[in-house]
Amino acid sequence: MQRARVIAAHRVPDRPAIRVSAGDAVTLGERDGEWPQLVWATLSQGLGGGIPAVLFDGQGGTATALEDYDTRELAADPDEIRVLHREQAGWRWAQNAAGHSGWIPARAVEPLQVADTA
């Protein structure tokens, strides 16, 4: 775990987060223009979200998820502190002071040194 200061605001998109489990079949669409490591994945129920392309056994059309993944994002404002857990495809899984977790762009946070605990 690492602590970081938010240096750029992040807002959660106005769409429901989705979860895929290893073995789930999805339909892969386009790569994201801003985040090329993400591909639009649509579940059988019709909901979709951006998921790292490396987590699927194919490049387009029907594919199978190789790992579990949750597209939940976490809102953030500058100078807030987040606990960072892992990084994937330019995003960090983070937790806020209230205990809520989700993805935030890695470029929106600046890791703190151990002595930087403000």
**Helices first, then strands: H and E counts in the chain:** 0, 11
List the domain range (segments joined by +) for residue 100: 2-12+73-111
If asked whether residues 94 and 65 sit together in one domain, one would say no
pLDDT (average), residues 73-93: 97
Note whether 63 and 25 are within 8 A (CB): yes
Are 76 and 47 contacting, i.e. CB atoms less than 8 angstroms apart?
no
Q: What is the pTM of this model?
A: 0.89
* Residue-wise pLDDT tens digits, 6-24: 999 999 999 999 999 999 9
Domain annotation covers residue 29: yes
Domain count, the chain: 2
